[in-house]
């Protein structure tokens, strides 16, 4: 047995069924042994696609995603995907080939210090120095990736280590103290008093509930306390979109009802969220009347941006169960529901063209319950967040922290492989799709029935919107009117495709998208002038929501 | 605001880099740095002084997040470097590194 065999065995023993990879010189010994592995190797067409597919797989399944690449450019191509996982707390193990140990530090062919480059975007990282340690090192990487607040772990593997004979038996016993924090009883007592004494409590939920697989307990907490809920982008689906206590997403592109509730609450219960600037707007004016109870697994998030009156650091399940109690805040709840009714979406838009929010809302009403929607980054990402009804956070895969254009398609590939029975829809834009369009070849190769809903405004829409609103309509580098023919592109990859541009074609398009038997692409041409509303300008308070009178989106 | 930090970490590959990177990235500027290793206990001890506009608690919590970090003491009374070094030398530590890090003038 050589080092490469030990790596394969460790991945097998972790129960992984799929890894994503792209071969090259320094990682060839591992790819040789992958031929005999018990798990499936998915060959992507770019290492970034591999990392983002592993990310999508991990988000959809709750398992650790695995990706493998070679040294040098293979490793650097992984970096965006690793950073994406780090910013969104996704468990991943990323293995990079490295030049042989004697050549490290000599600027050898395809050598980069990927260990050094990734220090700021990994939860932890290793350079393998011995074949005998490889098995336990990989197992340790998995344990670190999934423990506490999850994240990516990098293993840099010099070629000589991967071919060296393993002399010792393959044993793993973690020597690492993984942090274990429990909320203190007196903090729970104080939180309970604050809950009882508050008049206007509000729950602000983030991605942490879904990541920690605490959705059931969270919903029980909400249904018992009857406290209304607002959500971050990554928290969407934690409470079903249609739930009467759900007020919507808060923040920059949040619903007015959600932002009004935050600004008027007197107690904010923060559950697995981190006061991200897209959620809070001007931090000093965020929830100005509220005391804060902050629940999170990561002590570093407590008080990082807003000092709570009570911190409940530890597993969310423990805190949520301890604080589940019936509360009667009827007046406040009624006020929130009035805001929700007053500011619900209006899907009527002028003209004959397709109005993306309406199409998404229609689509989400017609898809089967087990549907996973992945989003790229830009205007369409916000429209998905606003208008696509969700039943679970694992059904909505979006690049929240890093905002990685090109995330949608590879993430959909990972999600479809992780959940073959789900309907997986990738919602993308004409800017984002081009970032990883080579992965259409991966869709075709593995016949993955991913559906791509491509909104095309021939612009980098979100940047164009900001230039219109905040840069005096000086449009710089946002014109994509020379886009390729996306239908022809998809067909050239062996993927069926169809274009619509008229409102009367909406149902036909959605029917094609949902019911096509294999992978397909629906190319939807939309108005280049369409913007995402409402919008809190950068640096402004969440009460300062802009709207455009040309497109009435709320009333 | 001046700060003084002592960090004890497992002496793993990249441990010192991780600690210094977190300090820089989180807005803490080291003026002096003293680091020694303890091969018997497999420990790295880092002592640093510097300045920041941010709360030392932020740095403490970010350092504690690092996988190999075992203990962070912030704002404690500064011990003479020679005393710290002596303690570790008494435990058989030979790999002593001592150097000053001069902050650039631009950070204010």
Residue A183: name the closest of A85, A312, A269, A307 by CA.
Answer: A312
Other CB atoms within 10 Å distance of the CB of residue A446: 15
CA distance B15 to chain A (A): 10
Query: Is B20 a domain residue?
Result: yes
State both tokens at A260. Answer: 């009004």
> Given this model, what pLDDT does residue A350 score?
87
Mean pLDDT across chain A: 96
Fold match, A185-342 / A356-525: yes
> Given this model, what pLDDT does residue A241 score?
97
DSSP string, A7-60: HHHHHHHTT--EEEE---GGGHHHHHHHTT-SSEEEE-SSHHHHHHHHHHHHHH
Say which CATH topology domain A185-342 has.
Answer: Rossmann fold (3.40.50)
pLDDT in tens, A104-145: 999 999 999 999 999 999 999 999 999 999 999 999 999 999
Share of chain A above pLDDT 70, in %: 97
pLDDT in tens, A304-350: 999 999 999 999 999 999 999 999 899 999 999 999 999 999 999 88
CA distance A211 to chain B (A): 18
Complex prediction ipTM: 0.93
Cross-chain residue pair B14–A125, CB shorter than 8 Å: yes
> Given this model, what pLDDT does residue A184 score?
75
Three-state secondary-structure class, residue B32: strand
Distant-in-sequence, close-in-space partners of A463: CB < 8 Å, separation ≥ 6 = A477, A478
What count of Cα atoms within 13 Å lies in the side-chain half-sphere of residue A435? 24
Chain A residues closer than 8 Å to B59 by CB: none
CB pairs under 8 A between A and B: 32
Q: Which residue is associated with the tokens 């011990």?
A: B79
Cross-chain residue pair A303–B57, CB shorter than 8 Å: yes
Residue A324: name the closest of A227, A245, A236, A180 by CA.
Answer: A227
Q: Does B58 touch chain A (CB under 8 A)?
A: yes
> Given this model, what pLDDT does residue A510 score?
98
Q: Which residue of A has its CA nearest to B63?
A: A300
Decide if A426 contacts A374 (C-beta within 8 A). yes
Looking at residue B13, the DSSP 8-state letter turns out to be T
- Class at the top of the CATH hierarchy for domain A3-163: alpha beta
Active-site pick, A38, A109, A199, A213: A109
Q: Does B90 touch chain A (CB under 8 A)?
A: no
Residue A396: name the closest of A237, A278, A253 by CA.
Answer: A237
Q: Which residue is associated with the tokens 């062919």?
A: A109
State both tokens at A329. Answer: 């805040």
Q: Does B101 touch chain A (CB under 8 A)?
A: no
Distance (Å, whole) CA A302 – CA A313:
8
Residue A182: name the closest of A305, A89, A311, A293 by CA.
Answer: A311
> Given this model, what pLDDT does residue A514 score?
97
Residue A195: name the closest of A262, A296, A290, A272 by CA.
Answer: A290
Distance (Å, whole) CA A507 – CA A226:
37
> Given this model, what pLDDT does residue B92 score?
40
Q: Which residue of B has its CA nearest to A128?
A: B13
Q: Which residue of A has its CA nearest to B59?
A: A300
Three-state secondary-structure class, residue B26: coil
pLDDT in tens, A71-113: 999 999 999 999 999 999 999 999 999 999 999 999 999 999 9
pLDDT in tens, A206-261: 999 999 999 999 999 999 999 999 999 999 999 999 999 999 999 999 999 999 99
pLDDT in tens, A437-473: 999 999 999 999 999 999 999 999 999 999 999 999 9
Q: Which residue of B has its CA nearest to A301?
A: B61
Cross-chain residue pair A123–B57, CB shorter than 8 Å: no
Tell me what the mean pLDDT of segment A373-380 comes to.
98
| Catalytic residue check, A468 | no
Cross-chain residue pair B13–A120, CB shorter than 8 Å: no
> Given this model, what pLDDT does residue A185 score?
78
Chain A residues closer than 8 Å to B21 by CB: 119-120
| Catalytic residue check, A39 | no
Cross-chain residue pair B62–A300, CB shorter than 8 Å: yes
> Given this model, what pLDDT does residue A170 score?
96
> Given this model, what pLDDT does residue A173 score?
86
Output the pTM of the full model. Answer: 0.93
Other CB atoms within 10 Å distance of the CB of residue A552: 13
Q: Which runs of E-coded beta strand occur in A366-413?
A: 371-375, 396-397
CA dihedral of A476, A478, A482, A483, whole degrees rounded to 10: 160
B32 bridge partner residues: B49, B100
Q: Which helix (H) or strand (E) holds A61?
A: helix A47-61
Chain A residues closer than 8 Å to B68 by CB: 124
Going by their DSSP bridges, the two strands A152-158 and A124-127 should be labelled as parallel
CA distance A176 to chain B (A): 8
pLDDT class of A298 with cuts at 50, 70, 90: very high
Query: Is B54 a domain residue?
Result: yes
Residue B54: name the closest of B5, B11, B17 by CA.
Answer: B5
Decide if A123 contacts A151 (C-beta within 8 A). yes
Query: Is B98 a domain residue?
Result: no
* Secondary-structure breakdown of chain B: helix, strand, coil percentages, each rounded to the nearest 5: 30, 35, 30
Cross-chain residue pair A304–B17, CB shorter than 8 Å: no
Cross-chain residue pair B14–A116, CB shorter than 8 Å: yes
Cross-chain residue pair A304–B65, CB shorter than 8 Å: no
Decide if B67 contacts A124 (C-beta within 8 A). yes
Decide if B94 contacts B36 (C-beta within 8 A). no
Three-state secondary-structure class, residue A230: strand
Other CB atoms within 10 Å distance of the CB of residue A481: 9
Total residue length of chain A? 555
Distant-in-sequence, close-in-space partners of A108: CB < 8 Å, separation ≥ 6 = A99
Tell me what the mean pLDDT of segment A5-19 comes to.
98
Q: Which runs of E-coded beta strand occur in A416-491?
A: 423-429, 451-456
Chain B residues closer than 8 Å to A302 by CB: 61
Q: How many domains does chain B have?
A: 1
CA distance A213 to chain B (A): 22
> Given this model, what pLDDT does residue B76 score?
52
| Catalytic residue check, A234 | no
Q: Which of A304, A305, A313 to mutate to test the interface with B (most CBs of B within 10 A)?
A: A304
> Given this model, what pLDDT does residue B98 score?
33
Question: Structural domain boundaries of chain A?
Answer: 3-163, 185-342, 356-525
Query: Is B56 a domain residue?
Result: yes
pLDDT truncated to tens, each residue of chain B (108 aa)?
899 999 999 999 999 999 999 999 999 999 999 999 999 999 999 999 999 999 999 999 999 999 999 999 998 545 554 454 455 444 443 333 333 332 233 332
| Catalytic residue check, A110 | yes
Cross-chain residue pair B57–A144, CB shorter than 8 Å: no
> Given this model, what pLDDT does residue A549 score?
57
Decide if A179 contacts A143 (C-beta within 8 A). no
Distance (Å, whole) CA A123 – CA A295:
21
The CATH number given to A356-525 is 3.40.50.970
> Given this model, what pLDDT does residue A175 score?
67
Q: Across the interface, which of B18, B57, B65 has its CB nearest the CB of A119?
A: B18
Chain B residues closer than 8 Å to A119 by CB: 14, 17-18, 21
DSSP string, A421-435: TSEEEEEEETTGGGG
Distance (Å, whole) CA A298 – CA A302:
7
| Catalytic residue check, A352 | no
CA distance A300 to chain B (A): 5
A231 bridge partner residues: A205, A249
Chain B residues closer than 8 Å to A123 by CB: 67
Cross-chain residue pair A123–B67, CB shorter than 8 Å: yes
pLDDT in tens, A150-198: 999 999 999 999 999 999 999 998 766 655 566 677 899 999 999 999 9
Three-state secondary-structure class, residue B34: strand
> Given this model, what pLDDT does residue B14 score?
97
Query: Is B34 a domain residue?
Result: no
Distance (Å, whole) CA B49 – CA A229:
44
> Given this model, what pLDDT does residue A181 score?
61
Q: Which helix (H) or strand (E) holds A488?
A: helix A486-492
Q: Give the C-alpha distances (Å, rounded to integers) separating A331 from A191, A227, A262, A538.
A: 21, 12, 16, 33
State both tokens at B98. Answer: 């001592």
- Whether residue A268 is predicted with pLDDT greater than 90 in this model: the reply is yes
Cross-chain residue pair A126–B13, CB shorter than 8 Å: yes
């Amino acid at each position: 047995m050589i080092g490469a065999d030990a790596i394969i065995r460790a991945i097998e023993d972790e129960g992984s069924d799929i890894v994503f990879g792209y071969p090259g010189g320094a990682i060839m010994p591992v790819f040789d042994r992958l031929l005999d592995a018990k798990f499936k190797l998915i060959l992507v067409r770019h290492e970034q696609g591999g990392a983002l597919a592993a990310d999508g797989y991990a988000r959809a399944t709750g398992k650790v995603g695995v990706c493998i690449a070679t040294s040098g450019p293979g490793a650097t191509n992984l970096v965006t995907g690793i950073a994406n996982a780090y910013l969104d707390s996704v468990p991943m193990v990323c293995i990079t080939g490295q030049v042989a140990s004697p050549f490290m530090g000599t600027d050898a062919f395809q050598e980069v210090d990927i260990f050094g480059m990734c220090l700021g975007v990994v939860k932890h990282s290793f350079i393998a120095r011995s074949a005998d340690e490889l098995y336990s090192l990989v197992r340790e990487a998995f344990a670190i990736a999934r423990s506490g607040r999850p994240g990516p772990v990098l293993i840099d593997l010099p070629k000589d280590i991967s071919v060296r004979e393993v002399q010792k038996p393959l044993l793993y016993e973690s020597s690492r103290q993984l942090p274990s924090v429990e909320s203190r009883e007196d903090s729970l007592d104080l939180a309970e008093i604050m809950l009882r004494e508050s008049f206007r409590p509000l729950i602000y939920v983030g991605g942490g509930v879904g990541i920690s697989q605490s959705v059931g307990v969270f919903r029980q907490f909400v249904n018992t306390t009857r406290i209304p809920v607002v959500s971050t982008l990554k928290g969407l689906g934690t409470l079903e979109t249609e739930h009467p206590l759900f007020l919507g997403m808060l923040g920059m592109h949040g619903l007015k009802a959600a932002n009004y509730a935050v600004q008027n609450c007197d107690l904010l219960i923060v559950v697995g969220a981190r006061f991200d600037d897209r959620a809070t707007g001007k931090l000093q004016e965020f929830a100005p009347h509220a005391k804060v109870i902050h629940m999170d697994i990561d002590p570093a998030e407590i008080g990082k941006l807003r000092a709570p009156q009570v911190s409940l650091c530890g597993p969310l399940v423990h805190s949520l169960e301890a604080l589940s109690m019936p509360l009667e805040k009827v007046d406040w709840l009624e006020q929130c529901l009035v805001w929700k009714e007053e500011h619900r979406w209006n899907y009527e838009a002028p003209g004959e063209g397709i109005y993306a929010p309406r199409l998404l809302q229609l689509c989400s009403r017609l898809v089967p319950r087990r549907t996973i929607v992945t989003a790229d980054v830009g205007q369409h990402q916000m429209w998905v967040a606003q208008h696509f009804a969700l039943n679970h956070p694992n059904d909505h895969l979006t690049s929240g922290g890093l905002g990685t254009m090109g995330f949608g398609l590879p993430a959909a590939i990972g999600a479809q492989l992780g959940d073959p029975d789900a309907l997986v829809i990738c919602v993308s834009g004409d800017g984002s799709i081009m970032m990883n369009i080579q992965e259409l070849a991966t869709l075709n190769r593995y016949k993955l029935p991913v559906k791509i809903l491509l909104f095309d405004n021939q612009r980098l829409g979100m940047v164009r919107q900001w230039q219109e609103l905040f840069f005096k309509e000086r449009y710089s580098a946002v014109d994509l009117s020379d886009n390729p023919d996306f239908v022809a592109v998809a067909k050239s990859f062996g993927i069926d495709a169809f274009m619509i541009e008229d409102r009367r074609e909406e149902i036909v398009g959605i029917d094609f998208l949902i019911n096509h038997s294999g992978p397909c692409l629906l190319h939807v041409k939309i108005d280049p002038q369409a913007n995402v509303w409402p919008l809190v300008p950068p640096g402004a308070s969440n009460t300062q929501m802009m709207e455009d009178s040309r497109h009435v989106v709320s009333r | 605001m001046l700060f003084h930090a002592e960090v004890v970490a497992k002496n793993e590959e990249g441990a010192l880099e991780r600690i210094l990177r977190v300090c820089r990235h989180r807005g803490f500027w080291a003026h002096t740095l003293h680091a020694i290793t303890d091969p018997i206990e497999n420990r790295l001890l880092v002592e640093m002084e510097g300045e920041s506009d941010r709360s030392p608690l932020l740095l403490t919590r970010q350092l504690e997040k690092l996988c190999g970090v075992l203990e962070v003491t912030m704002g404690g009374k500064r011990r003479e470097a020679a005393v710290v070094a002596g303690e570790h030398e008494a435990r058989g530590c030979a790999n002593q590194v001592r150097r000053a890090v001069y902050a650039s003038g631009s950070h204010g």
